[in-house]
Structure 1
Amino acid sequence: MNLGKTIAAGLAPVVDLVYPPRCPLCGDAIARQNGLCTGCWSSLAIPGSPQCRSCSRPFGSDTASDAMTCAVCLAHPPNHSGIAAGTLYNDASRQLVLAFKHGGKIALAPMLAGLIAAQIADAEPDNLPLIIPVPLHRWRLWKRGYNQAALLGRELEKLGKGQLLHQGLARLHATPSLGGLGRSARQRALAGSIAVPKAMRKRIISRNIILVDDVMTSGATSDACVKALLKAGAETVTIACFARVLDEALDAAA
């Protein structure tokens, strides 16, 4: 155990005394900081098998298998090498994302990243992928104070999932909020806005990449990032997110 972990472990009882652990969703008392109560854990929708072999979309059918490809990927083969989503987007994951992303609850990062890490296959220690967060434009970063994707990436690095490269991608100009826009409108808004900085290209060539974000909605932002990374010479790009919007998968699981 390193010094930082030793100090944190020693201070934990004091922190718990001053700030009794509470579930960030319902406020009930819990055993430790940065967790959820049993009821709220069960309200999260965790993707399960069988899944599409290309995009990890849950099939919601016992007759399917992990060797099958979903209709979406058959119609439009993806550029990425898979999607590792910690949860499917529902009311519970939405509340956690809002608290983490807009509510300043950055202490949620280890828990959210832990759910993502459970969906990422282990890599060989001598061939760890690069972990690259979806970038924020500098003005949005200045306004928010942190890049939530970078915080998740840092925790994934601590969990041994790869080597964090903070500035592997850059947002060249500000884009409008994508909320409420359709896929085509999102793609137009993002056109030419994301690229690999010249200083980062040598580090990305022939590397496997884990692209990290908090939420994957239409996939327009991640698509723009994947295209930029592959254009710069990346070998593969796997998308990792805490919550993935797949309403049909939620309906099948209900």
Structure 2
Amino acid sequence: MRPFDYLEPETLDEALVRLADDPDDAVVMAGGTSLVILMKQDLIRPARVIGLRRIGELRAIGTPEGNLSLGALATHGALARSQPVRAHAAALASTFAAVATVRIREQATLGGNLAHADPAQDPPVTLLALDGVAVARSRFGERRIPLDALFADLFETSLEPGEILLRVELPPLPAGARATYQKFLPRTLDDYATVSVAAVVATDASGVCTHARIALGGAGPVPLRAREAERSLVGHRLEDAAIRGAAALAAAATDPIADLRGSAAYKRAMAGVWTERALREVA
């Protein structure tokens, strides 16, 4: 690892000033579980690392104005145990509980996970299906970024130089909405998913779908929404033909990368299989 300067600001304003001093050669660090590995592998070479751990406000989890707000420094373990998270959607709490191992969950943070932009990670998938919005701030102001616009490419986000991710906000779910997160793990429980699917649906009193969200991980260079599949469900009962059709549309929307977990064709097929399973669980 190359030498670097390390700073730990006491406040968010101080961190923003420090970052603005050298936005091209400075990085911010939350838990460090991904950043430190990249630095050790010499894949990134920051001259300055700005640690955020002293900024307590970034750990806040709550429901201001009816939205669920998840602080960027909240760990996956804290989020999995959080009563506001469980009350909003039990599937979201179980998603955080599915991340890696307990050691990682107690160190790695939501903000670091999103900023790393690994398409095989768990939280972005469920957060996408729950219509999450990232909130970032620079010295010039605050910006709201829908999560499907945050992920720009493989390991790339749309965060601007000088911006720090503050939190993710989730709007209230429609009345009676049901959500699930499905993770295909052919190897060990702490592994990356081969593919993963989050589904959120709501139906009216007659069983007709009024709201549908389907998001997939490991199915392309970024976590993605299967919007055509979602549209195919709204206005229909969640019966066998509708579910199978939506699963096929979700699979067709994927652009997976072949790797040690499977070929692109295999991952695409599994995206369809696991979308169908997810939809049957919430139907």
> What TM-score, normalized to structure 2?
0.26
Structure whose residues are more often helix by fraction: 1
> What TM-score, normalized to structure 1?
0.28
Q: Which has the higher contact order (CA 8 A, sep 6+)?
A: 1
Structure whose residues are more often strand by fraction: 2
